[in-house]
Amino acid sequence: MTTTTLEHHLEAQQAAGAISASLRRVLETTASACVRISQLVGQGALGGVLGSAGSENVQGEVQKKLDIIANDTLMAAHQGGSVAALASEEMDAICPVPGGEACEWLLLFDPLDGSSNIDVNVSIGTIFSVLPRTGTGPVTEAEFLQPGRQQAAAGYCIYGPQTMLVLTTGCGVQVFTLDRNSGRFLLTQSALRVPEDTKEFAINMSNSRHWAPPVRRYITECLLGKDGARGKDFNMRWIASMVADVHRVLSRGGIFMYPWDKREPNRPGKLRLMYEANPMSWLVEQAGGAATNSQQPILDIQPAALHERVSVILGSKNEVERVTSYHNEEKQGV
C-alpha cells in the first residue's frame, strides 16, 4: 500500500530540481481545492449543488451550480499565493490576483468538466494548466496566449468512484488517489503509459453526418471491424466528460476525438484549447501518446484568443497518426 503523498512527490521533484518551490505551491493549492470540490460533488442533492445556476457563461452555455461553485473554490484558494492571474472556462476575462504581480505563474482551468453529467451522477472533473509569466507588471490576456508546449504543469482531478489526480510536470505522468480518511492524495501510479495501439474509439456518433470525410473514413473502418480494411473489431465508448474519456484512454489506451464538424463551419471544434485540449494533450504526450488537431500537434498551436476552440484527436499514437494521415491524404487529393 503506497504511502507517498502528493506533497512527498512534489517535495522530491523540487529537491531534484524538476520544479520550483513556487510551482509546488501552485499544485498543492490546486490539489487541495480539488479535494474540496470532490467533497461538494459527493454531496449531490444533499449539498444543494445540482441543477442549473440559471446563468450563461462566455461559451454561451447555461452554467450549472457546480460549475460556479467549483470555479469559486479554485479562485478563493489561489488568492495571495503563487499565481499572478487566473483564467477559467467560466469567466469572460482573466482575473489578476491582487498583489500577485511578482508571482511567476498563470493558472488556467475548466473548473467542472462534463457539466451535462453532473445531475446524472456520471464522472466529472477539474482540468488545470500552469503557464509561466512572460512579462512583468499587470498581467494581460496576451500573456496567457502561449502554446501548450510552454506549460510548466498540467493535470486533472476526476470525481468518479475514486477521486484521482493525474499530473505531469514534464517528468512523465503520475496518478494519485484520494484517501478520504486522511484527505490526502496518495501516489498510485508513478509512470502512466498509453499503449500505442488500441481497439477502442471515443466520439459522439450523433454528429457523424456532420464530420469531414477523413473522420467518416476512419470511423467507418472501425465500424467495419475485421470485415473491413482494419482487419480487427473495435469497441466504442463516449462518456461526454472529456476528463473521464481521457482518463480511460490514459489508463488502457484508445483514441478520443472531438473533431471539426460542419454544424458550425467557422468553429474548429467544441473543446477549448487553453484549459481542456492543451493540458490533456501534454498529459497524453508525456504518457507516450499523441494529440493533434488533425493537422498539427495541439501543443504547437499558437493561441489567438483565451477561449478559442480546437479540433481534438488524441490517444494511442498509431491511431492518432492514422487519422492525421487520412487528413493529409485528403489535402493532397490522394
Chain residues binding ligand AHG by CB under 6 A are 61, 89, 110, 113-116, 204, 240-242, 258, 270
Q: Which residue is nearest to Mn ion (CB)?
A: 113
Partnered with residue 310 across adjacent β-strands are 271
Q: Which is nearer to Mn ion, 19 or 130 (CB)?
A: 130
Partner in contact with 204, chosen from Mn ion, ligand AHG, none, beta carbon below 5 to 8 Å by kind? ligand AHG
Structure-derived torsion over alpha carbons of residues 77, 79, 81, 84, reported in degrees to the nearest 10: 120
Smallest distance from ligand AHG to CB 324, Å: 20
Partner in contact with 241, chosen from ligand AHG, Mn ion, none, beta carbon below 5 to 8 Å by kind? ligand AHG
Interface with Mn ion in residues 36-95 (CB under 5 A): 89
- Alpha-helical (H) ranges within 188-277 are 213-224, 242-252
Q: Which residues of 170-204 are buried (b: 16+ CB within 10 A; e: fewer)?
A: eebbbbbbbbeeeebbbbbbeebebbbebbbbbbe
Contacts for 189 with CB less than 8 Å, ≥ 6 apart = 173, 174, 175
Q: Which is nearer to ligand AHG, 61 or 330 (CB)?
A: 61
Smallest distance from ligand AHG to CB 261, Å: 10
CA dist., res. 169 & res. 300, Å (int): 17
Partnered with residue 166 across adjacent β-strands are 156, 175
- Please choose, from the candidates 85, 77, 315, 31, the residue with its C-alpha nearest in 3D space to the C-alpha of residue 201: 315
Smallest distance from ligand AHG to CB 311, Å: 13
CA dist., res. 284 & res. 253, Å (int): 10
Task: Count Cβ atoms below 10 Å from residue 76 Cβ, excluding itself.
Answer: 10
Q: Which is nearer to ligand AHG, 103 or 242 (CB)?
A: 242
Partner in contact with 116, chosen from Mn ion, ligand AHG, none, beta carbon below 5 to 8 Å by kind? ligand AHG
Site string for Mn ion, 97-126 (x = CB under 5 A): -------------x-xx-------------
CA dist., res. 165 & res. 188, Å (int): 10
First to last CA, the chain: 54
Partner in contact with 84, chosen from ligand AHG, Mn ion, none, beta carbon below 5 to 8 Å by kind? none
CA dist., res. 123 & res. 136, Å (int): 39
Q: Which is nearer to Mn ion, 89 or 200 (CB)?
A: 89
Q: Judge whether 258 and 243 are in contact, CB under 8 Å.
A: no
Partner in contact with 163, chosen from ligand AHG, Mn ion, none, beta carbon below 5 to 8 Å by kind? none
Q: Which is nearer to ligand AHG, 18 or 50 (CB)?
A: 50
Smallest distance from ligand AHG to CB 99, Å: 30
Q: How far is CA 106 from CA 81, 101, 131, 133, in A?
A: 11, 10, 5, 6
Smallest distance from ligand AHG to CB 114, Å: 5
Q: Which is nearer to Mn ion, 82 or 151 (CB)?
A: 151
Smallest distance from Mn ion to CB 110, Å: 4
Q: Which is nearer to ligand AHG, 3 or 206 (CB)?
A: 206
Smallest distance from Mn ion to CB 78, Å: 17
Binding positions for Mn ion, rule: CB under 5 A: 89, 110, 112-113
